[in-house]
A and B are shown apart, each in its own frame.
Chain A
Amino acid sequence: MWRCSILLPLLGALLASCSSPSPVDEVVASYLAARGGTERIQALTSIRETGTATASGGRIARVVREIKRPGLFRLEFSLQGTTSVFANDGSAGWQVAPLQGVFEPQAVPPEADAAGGVDQRDIEGPLVNWREKGHLVELVGREALPGGEAFKLKLTLKGGVIRYDYIDVVSHLLVRSDFTRIVRGHPVELQNTFSDFREVGGLVFPHHIETRAKERPEVIEVVIEKIELDPELDDALFRLPQ
């Protein structure tokens, strides 16, 4: 009996190691390969993206987003002659936003931090080594989107936040990502659609991003005009100025 109790788990482990990858691992692997491969993604140390954001009412802004390992984030948002900075030094967020009356750099409470979520400052994205990062990824179906069919992945991020990523079955790229945010105490489902994929330095990036709340008419669009890989970024840029 004791032999069985030892041998059975061993046999199970052996079978598991010999079996083919799970469907979710296959979808994630195909997605990472389509992006340029895990090795290339993990070699990325920093990134700077420059683009234009437009919103309803004729609003337009210049955006510069910088991310650096490990988890450093900085966004410059320029409109109407003003430039605001929203940043996170890897542990806490801060901002200086003249248009919002914030002239002195100040810490931002975690719940209001634009880049507070650990996945949101992850230069690789949460699907790279998701198990090691403590996320849970499940393949929950296949859906027809306007651009074609897509695998639907449910990501339960470390900390409990849930988002749904849609991986196109043909290109294997992330074409949509949905998550729910609490706005004025009410959950609002946000849909982000990615398109205009182009290769930059061996990695594939969406150059057109559209954000809308489900069943609401207003849309925010971001058009990426320039992507720089591994730019020199001083850590001080991400720290709250003292």
Chain B
Amino acid sequence: MKRAIVIIALVAAPVFADEVYLRGGGRFSGEIVEQTEDSVTVDIGGGYLTAPMSTVVRIEEGVSPLAEYRERAAGIPPGDAEAWRELARWATSKTLSSQSWEAYSQVVAILPDDDEANRALGRVLLNGKWVTEDESYRARGYIEFENQWMTPAERKAILAERQAQEQADRQANEAEIRAIQADIDAEQQREDEEFERQTSRFDRLQDYGEPVDWGWGGGPAYWPSPVVYTQPVELGAAPVGGR
């Protein structure tokens, strides 16, 4: 099944450009590459989403922004930076980040010092040279630690905190071993479970993405961390993650 879907994605032109509506207001649009009784797989331009048909309220036919982007991109003559710029702006207005990125990359390929395109790609002017966001962070002394940019001092503090916690846990465990040897295995298990629960709780918070606060009334939401696939996969497969 999986192989069949991949083959379709690789060799077949997009058949539909539709919007898939889910219960509760969720939806996604793109180009349907596969639809069965059980599921629908859509190329959203930054990966593939496969939804069970049981979750789908309806599918509305139409031309998705992604399909329009691809059609317009195909018609741009080589070397036409302004056409790519216009398309990039349009893609940005449709929140098609991947396509915006692609189009602005085309602009930079033609005009390497273009201010708008470089900034849109997250690049930073450093000592007269455009560098990537990551390179700029490194140049400013930040380091990447567990997918987050921070100061070396913060990383050191995190590691020290963890070490202290581990030591404290170890000491507590040893004390318990001395005090009530008979109960230690059961107690250790309980503590491990609690630690695991706490850790998974925090991990889950991270999974929900970066926080956004609003200041007025209702507060933080999160920038969702996408979990999309670089190619169609069967339902139930483990997510491969993403930013």
List the interface of chain A (C-beta within 8 A of B). Answer: 47, 49, 52-53, 55-63, 65, 67, 73, 75-87, 94, 96-105, 109, 111-112, 114-115, 117, 119-125, 174, 177, 179, 181-186, 190, 192, 194, 205-206, 209, 211, 213, 215-218, 220, 222, 237, 240-241
Contacts and interface: CB of A to CB of B under 8 A. Distances in A.
Interface size class of B (residues with CB under 8 A): 35 or more
Contact of A125 (B52, B97, B213, B216): B216
A121 B217 CA distance: 6
A61 B208 contact: no
Secondary structure of the B side of the interface? mixed
Nearest to B99: A80
B122 A99 contact: no
Contact of A222 (B161, B212, B222): B212
Contact of B66 (A81, A104, A209): A81
B131 interface: no
A79 B99 CA distance: 11
Nearest to B158: A186
A105 B228 CA distance: 18
A60 B224 contact: no
A81 B91 CA distance: 11
A221 B236 CA distance: 34
Given A103-B55, A112-B208, A86 B228 contact: no
B84 interface: no
A63 B222 CA distance: 11
A82 B202 contact: no
A103 B161 contact: no
Contacts of B66: 81
A119 B219 CA distance: 8
Contact of B25 (A83, A112, A184): A83
28 contacts: A53-B212, A55-B223, A58-B101, A61-B223, A77-B223, A81-B30, A81-B64, A81-B96, A82-B44, A85-B24, A86-B221, A96-B25, A98-B28, A100-B226, A100-B227, A101-B239, A102-B26, A103-B51, A114-B221, A125-B217, A174-B216, A181-B205, A209-B213, A211-B211, A211-B212, A215-B154, A216-B154, A220-B212
Contacts, number: 225
Interface of B: 22-30, 44-46, 49, 51-52, 54-56, 64-66, 92, 95-98, 100-101, 104, 120-122, 133, 136-137, 140, 142, 146, 148-151, 154, 158, 161-162, 198-199, 201-208, 210-228, 239, 243
B40 to A, nearest CB: 10
A185 B198 CA distance: 8
B51 to A, nearest CB: 4
Given A96-B25, A115-B218, A241-B24, 13 more contacts: A57-B133, A84-B224, A96-B24, A99-B28, A99-B49, A105-B22, A112-B201, A112-B204, A115-B219, A121-B217, A185-B198, A216-B148, A218-B210
Nearest to A114: B221
